[in-house]
Amino acid sequence: MTEIIEVTPTLDQYAFTFGGVAPLRKVAPGSVLRLWSDDAFCGALRSVTDLSSEKVNLHFVNPQTGPFYVEGAEPGDTLALHLVSLEPARDWGASATIPFFGGLTSTDRTVMLQEALPDTTWIYHLDSAARTVQFQARHSEHRIDLPLEPMLGTVGVAPAFNEVRSSLVPDRFGGNMDTPQMRAGTTCYLGVNVEGALFSIGDGHYRQGEGESCGTAVEGAMTTTLIVELIKGSAPGWPRLEDDDHIMTVGSSRPLEDAWRVSQVEMVTWLSELYGLHTMDAYQLLSQISETPLANVVDVNYSVVTKARKSLLPATAAFDGLHDDLRARAAELTGA
């Protein structure tokens, strides 16, 4: 029976950066980890009277569980993290409109002279039987049950060239991509920049719309089970994802069209690699099949996902079929 490495960090063990932090522990490729992560607010918003401007230190949000040192990982390698399951670790989640943070407000970058939107907190109660979270309006009696769709906002490795980035940042190293695609059943491929890769995860969302408009999802503590694998070499330029239905790339930059361009060119490259297509043919094919949901339009960099549906393409074996192998291992673990 597979050993599962369980990690529940103490408060002083959280990391708030990608890079710049000593590893929490070493793990071998093939390891299965069960990781507890706190919510983006470090659990500080527990009722609608808890305001982000009073309770949250914005420079210490997105606490990371990790980093983990992957034995044998070297720059140029590819780290594969397969998400086996994501289970809410609390029976409530929180969301908030943090002053000058979010997509439909001026921010510290898109800075205006207007007053901030009201600092408001919403608490979502989880019905674990129905697998829903409940939206409760703050200014009326509306209550709407929404399906529980757990995902991770942040999955990342240490950046290249000795940089250290806040856990609010998504970029080439992954990080705070905030895409609903980062859910159970997905494999995430990240290029390794430093010895040991030094990956971490966090920022669990019980559900999130594409774009994460107000800047926060239904933020919740999460128990994540994942399998760690290592591919020697083959580091992609930008994060790649795979699930049973799609291969996907994630671009993160500003303005938003550049995030899109990054994800598109990465997918053109991937399609060319997989099928031996000429770049112009891959560009043409992608033009007719691309699915491109926004991930976030609120973080330090914005993130866009480009998806190519496997059923539209000839049979593939990205990264030598690792995803299918990981799915099989995950099924054994979950008894599915």
How many residues sit in the footprint of its own copies (CB under 8 A)? 89
Exactly one of 165, 240, 246, 323 binds its own copies (CB under 8 A); that residue is 165
Identify residue 73 by its one-letter amino acid code. A
Sheet of 143-147, strands arranged across: 92-97, 120-127, 132-136, 143-147
Q: Cα separation of 240 and 51, whole Å? A: 36
Q: Cα separation of 20 and 292, whole Å? A: 33
321 conformational bin, left if phi > 0, alpha if psi -120 to 50, beta if neither: left
Least distance (Å) between residue 114 CB and its own copies: 4
* Contacts to its own copies from residues 77-116, by CB under 8 A: 95, 97, 103-106, 109-116
Exactly one of 87, 281, 324, 325 binds its own copies (CB under 8 A); that residue is 281
319 contacts 80 by C-beta, under 8 angstroms: yes
Q: Binding of its own copies at residue 54 (CB under 8 A)?
A: no
Q: Which residue has the tokens 């994630």?
A: 250
Q: Binding of its own copies at residue 327 (CB under 8 A)?
A: no
* Contacts to its own copies from residues 202-241, by CB under 8 A: 207-218
Between residues 139 and 233, which has the closer beta carbon with respect to its own copies?
139
Q: Binding of its own copies at residue 317 (CB under 8 A)?
A: no
Q: Cα separation of 210 and 285, whole Å? A: 24
Q: Binding of its own copies at residue 277 (CB under 8 A)?
A: yes
Between residues 8 and 279, which has the closer beta carbon with respect to its own copies?
279
Q: Cα separation of 90 and 182, whole Å? A: 19
Least distance (Å) between residue 237 CB and its own copies: 8
Between residues 9 and 32, which has the closer beta carbon with respect to its own copies?
9
Least distance (Å) between residue 227 CB and its own copies: 29
